[in-house]
Amino acid sequence: MLEPEARDARPGELPSPYLLFLGDTVEPGYAKTAFGLRDWARERCVGEATLPGATVTTGLDRLTPAEAHARGARSMVIGVANRGGIIPESWTASLVEALEAGLDIVAGMHSRLADIPALQALANRLGRRLIDIRTPPTIIPTGTGARRSGKRVLTVGTDCALGKKYTALVLARGLQSRGIDAQFRASGQTGIMIAGEGIPIDAVVSDFLAGAAEMLSPAAAPDHVDVIEGQGSLFHPSYAGVSLGLLHGSQPDLFVVCHDPTRAGILGYPGRPLPSIEEVIAATIELGRVTNPRIRCAGISLNTSGLTDDQAQAELDATEARTGLPTADPMRGGPALERLLDACAQ
């Protein structure tokens, strides 16, 4: 019998279609992997699976692993990105069920699938794969801070899980539609699954964060634009280090601040308020000047999914008037998005 194929894989080679596993998640912000795949790789998703107590849903058909396999699914993707990226013991039975139903398992967690003895043994016996996406390159140089050719746009945020990836994807595709040589650069597990390539920045040893960001967005033609998926927030009590390393290494010429106007505090940290958009702009410019003295804010991206159309428009108008910067909800599109694209194309 071969040793278990518990390995890392190129995301472009992931076995699809997928069954999206939501576990027992009750916070939509922690299910961003599932939502990202539903929204940006819908053709690769056959349904979702949950545990009792889960209140979050993607709206896809609720299926057992056996039902998903019968519909053509080849893997179950853990669609959760919880605090710490852990795989709770309470999920093990469902992951075992997926392997027994004929599915491989794909995860973007900090916890590695192969480190769970029950899964490793069963994958070995059944010839199934355990695939971990959150694995950085084995050799990463330290950052140099040297200026490189090409143009870069980075999405930054007032918090985690509020639209940095979606904004970067929309901006990259919007610039491409204008005939601009633009590319989405994925820095997190979901973005990597969507794009088929990238570097999971939050899995990199801290000394090499800036170097990894330089690898993620290398020197390019002068008219090429890399739109880089941001991570965390410079004001986040746990993840600010990742945000800072990505900022220094990506050396953005422009950045777009992402914000959810309905969120009162930092996700998962009761009592800790969000920074203002203005505070994020000021901090990003101050810290970003370490590697790019010409850094500036191109505009604001608001996640207005929790607002009515009228409320959303009022919020967009008020934010643009207050900041003097183009402000859009990329998922709503329209003239506001075109103005934001104009700013990013300059």
What is the C-alpha separation between 68 and 59, in angstroms, rounded? 15
pLDDT score of 4: 32
What is the C-alpha separation between 54 and 189, in angstroms, rounded? 22
Any domain includes 139:
no
Please check whether residues 288 and 180 belong to one and the same domain. Answer: yes
Asked whether 229 and 186 are in contact (CB, 8 A), the reply is yes
Q: Quick one: which H or E segment has residue 69?
A: helix 65-70
Any domain includes 144:
no
pLDDT score of 154: 98
Q: What is the pLDDT along the chain (346 residues), one digit of tens a residue?
A: 223 333 444 555 789 999 999 999 998 888 989 999 999 999 999 999 999 999 999 999 999 999 999 999 999 999 998 877 889 999 999 999 999 999 999 999 988 998 999 999 999 999 999 999 988 999 999 999 999 999 999 999 999 989 999 999 999 999 999 999 999 999 999 999 999 899 999 999 999 999 999 999 999 999 999 999 999 999 999 999 999 999 999 999 999 999 999 998 998 898 999 999 999 999 999 999 999 999 999 999 999 999 999 999 999 999 999 999 999 999 999 999 999 999 999 8
265 contacts: CB under 8 Å, gap ≥ 6 = 271, 272, 273, 274
pLDDT score of 165: 96
Nearest to 88, CA basis, from 31, 5, 160, 24: 24
Q: Based on the structure, what is the number of domains in the chain?
A: 2
pLDDT score of 295: 98
pLDDT score of 12: 53
Alpha-carbon dihedral 123, 124, 125, 129, rounded to 10 degrees = 40
279 contacts: CB under 8 Å, gap ≥ 6 = 235
Please check whether residues 116 and 168 belong to one and the same domain. Answer: no
Asked whether 345 and 178 are in contact (CB, 8 A), the reply is yes
Any domain includes 162:
yes
What is the C-alpha separation between 158 and 156, in angstroms, rounded? 7
Single-letter amino acid code for the residue at 228 = I
Nearest to 265, CA basis, from 227, 295, 235, 294: 235
DSSP structure string for 163-200: SHHHHHHHHHHHHHHTT--EEEE--SHHHHHHHS----
What is the C-alpha separation between 109 and 132, in angstroms, rounded? 7
How many helices and strands, by DSSP H and E, does the chain display?
11, 12
Any domain includes 137:
no
What is the C-alpha separation between 259 and 301, in angstroms, rounded? 6
Whose structure tokens read 């929309």? 170
Asked whether 46 and 61 are in contact (CB, 8 A), the reply is yes
Q: Which residues in 176-198 are b (16+ Cβ under 10 Å) and which e?
A: eeeebebbbbbbbbbbbbbbeeb
Q: Quick one: which H or E segment has residue 339?
A: helix 335-345
Any domain includes 143:
no
Please check whether residues 176 and 106 belong to one and the same domain. Answer: no
pLDDT score of 2: 28
First to last CA, the chain: 58
Point out which residues pair with 130 in neighbouring strands. Answer: 6, 105
Which pTM does this prediction carry?
Answer: 0.88
CATH number of 118's domain: 3.40.50.720
275 contacts: CB under 8 Å, gap ≥ 6 = 158, 233, 235, 283
Please check whether residues 156 and 28 belong to one and the same domain. Answer: no
Domain residues for 272? 151-345
Any domain includes 11:
yes
- SS3 (DSSP) at 113: helix
Please check whether residues 196 and 260 belong to one and the same domain. Answer: yes
Please check whether residues 316 and 230 belong to one and the same domain. Answer: yes
CB atoms inside a 10 Å sphere around CB 84:
9
